[in-house]
Amino acid sequence: RLGLERADTAEKALTVIVDLLEKYGQGGNCMESHMAFTYYNSFLIADRKEAWVLETSGKYWAAEKVEGGVRNISNQLSITTKIDREHPGLREYAKSKGWWDGEKEFDFAATYSYVNTARMTTSRGRYCEGYKLLNKHKGSITSEIMMEILRDKESGINMEGGFMTTGSMVSVLPQQANLPCIHFFTGTPDPAR
């Protein structure tokens, strides 16, 4: 929210977020219940001209500029070796922890997570299913198709059960400055409605 408030481009919003992350860190319970459950965050940040994926682990982070096609995030790190911006101490910290030897190519997701990155797009899970649904419509995604994807319960994109998806957002960002941006937000506690 502060990135949206303080920046007028996607890259400036990225800078706002990483500056705040460096100064304040992240944390706090991600549920309203008394059960303690926290995790680090990922962000899709876009404006009319460019898009970025920002993924975090504690105060460390990596960002990838989206160059085309489709891109999704979902409860796991997905930035691998294409890193366009990063925390200045990202690699040194990984070396100090013994997660990376400093010799082989640096892979953020493989180094900072427990997920086997080779299986992310093939094993059934929210990331994989979202990737498949987006690629199915690659080149012809409309706001209506994006809403269908975000409503999809079978894939786990719209979660129900112990964890519930309670909000979704779809934005139309025309590259032509004379056309308005349009933003759709979930109006009920369940995006399927």
- Which pLDDT belongs to residue 130? 92
Q: What are the tens digits of pLDDT across the range 110-156? A: 999 865 555 555 556 888 999 999 999 999 999 999 999 999 999 98
- Spatial distance between the Cα atoms of 173 and 181, rounded to a whole number of angstroms: 5
| Residue at a domain's end among 117, 151, 171 | 117
112, 125: one domain: no
Which whole number is the average pLDDT over 71-99?
A: 95
Residue range 62-83: mean pLDDT, rounded: 93
Residues 26 and 112 both lie in one domain = yes
87 pLDDT exceeds 60? yes
The C-alpha atoms of residue 138 and residue 170 are separated, in whole angstroms, by 16
Percent of the chain at pLDDT exceeding 90: 69
76 alpha-carbon distance from chain centroid: 9
Q: In degrees to the nearest 10, what's the CA dihedral of 3, 8, 12, 13?
A: 20
So what's the pLDDT on residue 176? Answer: 95
Mean pLDDT for the stretch of residues 171-189: 93
Structure-token pair, residue 71: 């891109």
Domain boundary among 86, 117, 148: 117
Whether residue 6 is found in the same domain as residue 83: yes
Range of the domain at 167: 121-192
Same domain, 74 and 159: no
d(CA 96, CA 117): 22
- CA dihedral (24, 83, 182, 131) in degrees, to 10, reads -110
